[in-house]
């Protein structure tokens, strides 16, 4: 899943932050059973993020200020 598929900034940011933190926490793990459990948990979390992104797309609203990079926020009349 690309980060662009997770539309709202907060879902995308949350998923990236959680993934990074999980990898850092488990980087020295050597037990194959624990590694397998971590992979399984990560796959479950990926499915949750995919569902959140789909629901968000179904009920999307206006973009957040953080998502309007390079765009003018207010038009001049």
Tell me how crowded residue 74 is: count the other CB atoms within 10 A of its CB. Answer: 5
- The whole-model pTM stands at 0.59
15-55 pLDDT tens trace: 888 889 988 999 899 999 999 999 999 999 889 888 888 88
Find the DSSP H helices in 1-77: 9-25, 32-58
pLDDT score for 3: 47
Q: What is the DSSP letter of 29?
A: -
């Amino acid at each position: 899943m690309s980060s662009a598929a997770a539309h709202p900034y907060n879902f995308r940011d949350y998923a990236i932050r959680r993934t990074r933190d999980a990898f850092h926490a488990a980087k020295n793990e050597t037990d194959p059973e624990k590694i397998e459990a971590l992979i399984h948990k990560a796959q479950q979390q990926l499915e949750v993020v995919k569902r959140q992104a789909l629901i968000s797309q179904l009920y999307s609203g206006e973009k957040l200020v953080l998502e309007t990079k390079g765009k003018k926020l207010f038009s001049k009349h």
